[in-house]
Structure 1
Amino acid sequence: MKAPDGTAIDRTKEVILGDCGINWNDDGSFDFDGSGTQPDWDSQETATLAGQTVFFDEAGREWLESQLIPDDAEELPADQIKPWYIDRALRRVEIVNTVEALMVRVTGKKIAAKDCQALTRAITLLLDRSEPT
């Protein structure tokens, strides 16, 4: 597979959690202690955006799975290559995913299916109102 401009896709984007030592200040703030981040290699996951795997091309540019083209396909002209966020459906998926993840982080609970449907409708309405006609 290759990027729409013909550049070879050669890797995925990975997310690795880690921890870093800190020192507490008298005012309650903190500074990093200089020991550096210790990666937790067992936490490694392939990054996704709007439900799609994120890839890098040889030049280091990011592409979503739906943007890739087969090796034998004709490259797209530069003016036809659009960033993923131009695609309204992908933006909606990413916004819903972000809100769902925030809910889990804040409340510790997954959002209920009925609430997710309402959230998706609300986000669709907001996108409809915010996009130029």
Structure 2
Amino acid sequence: MLRPSGDTVFARSHAYPGEPIPASALDSAIGRIVSESGRDRRARALARERAPVVYPPAGVTLGLDGTTWVTLRRTDRGTPVHVLGDTGDLIGTLLLPPRSRIQQASMTHVWVTEYDPLDLASVVRYRVIRHPGTGSGGE
């Protein structure tokens, strides 16, 4: 994480339980970029070699209070989010409703856009409640 001045605020590594990218999805993505011609076979092999093995995080939101909200890939149950404190340590996790996206957040509130089955958007504010015994954050 960097300050606007370019100074490093924190640098942390976290275990990432990413969802594996299916071979069919990888083939489809590479096919859109590189043609099937013999000349491009090497490029296809290189693209496959350098492609990630898991889906990346879906988004990052910088909180109003120095927190960082890392949104993971949406599942049928909802959208998992990891919350990092101002030092980059994991301080909590949460599961947003399925079809929702964080717009802004802090350790007291999370503002999301939620979409109904007709894709009509609503802005919803959730209050963050910390559970006792979970340290400085919560689930």
Name whichever structure is richer in helix by fraction.
Answer: 1
Larger RCO, structures 1/2 (Cα 8 Å, 6+ apart): 1
Q: Which structure has the larger Rg over C-alpha atoms?
A: 1
